[in-house]
Amino acid sequence: MKRKKIFIVTIFAAAAIGCALYFSGVLTPKTTDTDEADEVVAVKPVGPAFNADSAYAYAARQCDFGPRVMNSDAHDRCATWIVSKFRSLGCTVEEQKTTVTGYDGTALRCNNIIAHVNPQATTRILLCAHYDSRPWADNDPDSLNWHKPVMAANDGASGIAVMLEIARLLKAKPLPNIGVDLVCFDAEDWGTPQWAGVADKEDTWALGAQYWAAHVPEGYGPRYGILLDMVGGEGSRFYQEVMSKQYAPAIVKKVWRAAAQCGMSTFFPKDEGGAITDDHIPVNQIAHIPTIDIIPYFPDCQQSSFGPTWHTVSDTMDHIDKQVLKAVGQTIVQVLYSEK
């Protein structure tokens, strides 16, 4: 994924307006969202306990294949493992295979993996994440690493790991009236590298999600979608992402409230994060499913506002924090088991 350029504009515009209003006396210095600030949410957890050890093991298993870069053997073997794992957890699984084109014209064998829990249920929720690894650590502090692949423990494996653990919990404690679709997007992270010397184009990212969104079956309409991207990195805090607030404000509110209800509000500040080009953009724009992105924001990180390991060779299991997996996973449990 990639930060949208509009973010810069948004910040400067907001800062400029904020300063103007502040100095004109219209605004008082306040950091929280006004209509949310006074909302007190009682801790009232529902659903089973999310097992972070299990999720951690699912992420480690993906990394054991090596970096899962497009057109590689490790990628294909990991895809086979993901399919068999979801099947073993009782899901009905489809593979949506196609060829997509990378920023430089490279043909990429793309395989979106779609797992259905309770496929007969008409009320459905979409969860999604990507499983491919970025082929280039182009944001690494050491330029010697810029052409090396990313292990993608966080930027890929963590989201799939949380979805697998959710599938395991849904098997153990079914939700009879709710169906859940767990979509593992491919080819998210083949977007234009920083060293390419050509302008980055938004549509070079999220290639698998673009294809999936353009081919959703007739009549498919989940209530909403939640994208999980980089949900295990140490030090992560999940601010409200700008495009999610634009496309699916009610879902942002629902998920952040759920985080508070299950005692995870520290990990989910109600302040605004960046505007991100990620798999949720085509899901919103092409498939018209209101979908949010749970993605970390590090306001003070010099290396990247996605965190110190983003698109570096340090995105390994050493920097995965089970407490972060737990915070996100338990929040998803809270959301799903609150559905009627």
Q: Which residues bind Zn ion (CB under 5 A)?
A: 134, 155, 189
Least distance to Zn ion, CB of residue 129, Å: 11
Nearer to Zn ion, 165 or 189 (CB): 189
CB 259 within 8 A of CB 200: no
Minimum CB distance to Zn ion smaller for 54 or for 304: 304
Strand partners, 94: 114
Kindly list the distances between the CA atom of residue 154 and the CA atoms of 53, 103, 200, 306, in Å, as whole numbers in the listed order.
15, 23, 23, 11
* CA distance linking residue 326 with residue 338, whole number of Å: 18
Whole-angstrom Cα distance, residue 65 to residue 317?
Answer: 13
Nearest-10 crossing angle of helices 158-172, 52-64: 130
Residue 242 has phi, psi (to 5 degrees) of: -65, -45
Contact (Cβ atoms closer than 8 angstroms) between residue 238 and residue 246 = no
Minimum CB separation of residue 188 from Zn ion in Å reads 7
Supply the minimum distance, in Å, between the C-beta of residue 76 and Zn ion: 20
User: Closer CB to Zn ion, residue 53 or residue 202?
Assistant: 202
Shortest gap between Cβ of 230 and Zn ion (angstroms)? 8
Q: Which residues of 39-55 are buried (b: 16+ CB within 10 A; e: fewer)?
A: eeeeeeeebeebbbeeb
CB of 228 to Zn ion, least distance (A): 13
Give dist(CA 81, CA 61) in Å, integer.
Answer: 9
DSSP annotation string for 3-68:
E-THHHHHHHHHHHHHHHHHHTTS-----S-HHHHT--------SPPP-HHHHHHHHHHHHHT---
Residue closer to Zn ion by CB (options 47, 296) is 296
Q: Closer CB to Zn ion, residue 256 or residue 298?
A: 298
Q: For Zn ion, give the closer residue by CB, 175 or 243.
A: 243
> How far is it, in rounded angstroms, from Cα 57 to Cα 70?
23
Q: Which is nearer to Zn ion, 89 or 275 (CB)?
A: 275
Contacts of 52 by beta carbon, 8 Å cutoff, 6+ apart: 322, 323, 325, 326, 329
From the CB of 152, what's the least distance to Zn ion, in Å? 7
SS3 content of the chain, % helix, strand, coil (to 5): 40, 15, 45
Provide, rounded to whole angstroms, the least separation between the CB of residue 173 and Zn ion.
32
CB of 149 or CB of 329, closer to Zn ion: 149
